Structure 1
Amino acid sequence: RSETGTKQKNFLGNICRSPIAEAVFQKMVTDAGTVDKWFIDSGATSDWNTGSSPDSRGLACLRSHGIETSHRARQVTKEDFMNFEYILCMDDSNMSELKRKAKSVSNYSAKIELLGSYDPQKQLIIKDPYYGSQEDFETVYEQCVRCCKVFLENNS
C-alpha cells in the first residue's frame, strides 16, 4: 500500500459495479504511467459476497474491452475511511450507508462521493446490473469509463 498519492474506492456486494470501476481505473492509471501514485481497491457495504470473484457477466464485459481483474470481494473497514482519500460509490443507498459507517470513525479523512458526480453525461447513479442483462453490464462499464476519466483528469 502506497502512503503517497491519491486513493480511490468504490462500494454494496462488491461483485458487479465496483469491481468494474476498480479495473477500469486501474487500467487508466496504468496506461497513463501514474499507477505508482494510486492505491485502488473496491469494497462492499455488506458481507454477502466476501471472497467471491466478480460476477461472470462483469468479467466478460471487462475482457471484451481488454481488461482483466483478479479482484475478490471484501467488506469496507473502518480503516478504509482513514486510508483512502476518496471513497466513490454508485448510488444514494451506498452513500447513506458509507456516511453512516464513517460516523463511527473519529476524524475520518475520506471524501465520500458518488462516482456518477464525475459523469459528463450527468448520469449521477450507476445502476446495479445484477438482475439485468449483459447490456446492463456494458452500460455500467461505459459509465465507469466516463466517470473515471473525469475523476483522473481532476486529480492528476
Structure 2
Amino acid sequence: MRSLCTSSLPKLPFCHCDTKSPFLPTLLPLNPSPHFQTSNIFHRISQIKQNPITVITSSSSSMASTTQTDKTTEKPFSVLFVCLGNICRSPAAEGVFTDLVKKRDLSSKFIIDSAGTINYHEGGPADSRMRAASKRRGIEITSISRPIRPSDFKEFDLILAMDKQNKEDILAALERWSFKEALPADAYKKVKLMCSYCKKHDETEVPDPYYGGAQGFEKVLDLLEDACESLLDTILAENSS
C-alpha cells in the first residue's frame, strides 16, 4: 500500500513505515486495428449476394420477458471498509458485515471489500491476532491487504473510514486523483466514518489495536458489530422499493 496524505501521518514503527506516493494505475495502450485484406472484400460481397442473410426477430412475448427481467434485476449495493494498513480494522469490518449479511440471506445483494490508505502490507493476510479474535466470535477473515485505488470511488456506493485520519487521507487521495482522471463529482459524499452508525457506543472512531493488547482487538469487534448491524438496517431502509 502506498501512503495517502503521508504528511499528516505520524512516523510509526515497522508496521506503517511506507512514505511513497499514492498508487496510480497505468493505462494500457490500445491494440492496433487489424489490416484489411482488400482482395477478400469482393469475394465476400459475392457470397452475400448468393446467400442472403436471414434476420431472425424475437417474438413480442420474448421481448416483453427480457424487458421484465431487466427491470427486476437489481445492482448489488457495494461497501468498502478502509483503515490504515488493511490488516486489522477494515478486514474485521469486512468480515463482520459479510457474516451479518449471510445470516440474513442477503449475500446476493451486496459487494463487500476492504482496503488501506498505505500499501505496506499489500498482498498479505490480516493480522493473526485480529483473525483469532474474530474466529472466537464465529467470524472468518479471509481478505488480502490492498491499497485504496481511484476506481474504488466509481465502483463502491459507500466507503467507510475507521477513524478521522483515514477519512482525511481518503478524501485527499480523491482530490489528487480527480486531477488525473474522471471520477464522480459527488464521490466525496460516499466517504463516512464507521462509528457514525454505532447505536450502543459513544465512540466516534474505531481505534487501531495494532500496538495494544488482546482487549484492543475485542473492543474493535464490539464497535464493528454495533456499527455493522445499524449500517445494514440503514442501507436496506434507504434502498427499499
Amino acid in the other structure paired with 2:145: A
- Pairs within 5 Å for 1:12-51: 12-51=84-123
Deviation, structure 1 residue 126: 0.4
SS at match of 1:155: helix
Could you tell me which of 176, 193, 215 is aligned with 1:114? Answer: 193
Amino acid in the other structure paired with 2:79: Q
TM-score after normalising by structure 2: 0.62
Residue 154 (str. 1) matches residue 226 (str. 2): no
- Pairs within 5 Å for 1:117-128: 117-120=196-199, 121-128=201-208
SS at match of 1:23: helix
Computing the radius of gyration from Cα coordinates, the structure with the larger value is 2
- Pairs within 5 Å for 1:1-156: 4-11=75-82, 12-103=84-175, 104-105=177-178, 106-107=183-184, 109=187, 111-120=190-199, 121-156=201-236
TM-score after normalising by structure 1: 0.95
CA distance in 1: counterparts of 2:75 and 2:115, whole angstroms:
21
Runs of at least 4 residues of structure 1 off by over 2 A?
none
How many residues were matched structurally?
Answer: 154
Deviation, structure 1 residue 154: 0.5
CA distance in 2: counterparts of 1:66 and 1:124, whole angstroms:
26
Amino acid in the other structure paired with 2:193: L
Deviation, structure 1 residue 69: 2.1
Amino acid in the other structure paired with 1:143: L
Amino acid in the other structure paired with 1:6: F
Amino acid in the other structure paired with 2:173: K
| Structure 2 portions without partners, runs of 5+ | 1-73, 237-241
Amino acid in the other structure paired with 1:114: L
* Identity across matched positions, percent: 32
CA distance in 2: counterparts of 1:137 and 1:34, whole angstroms:
27
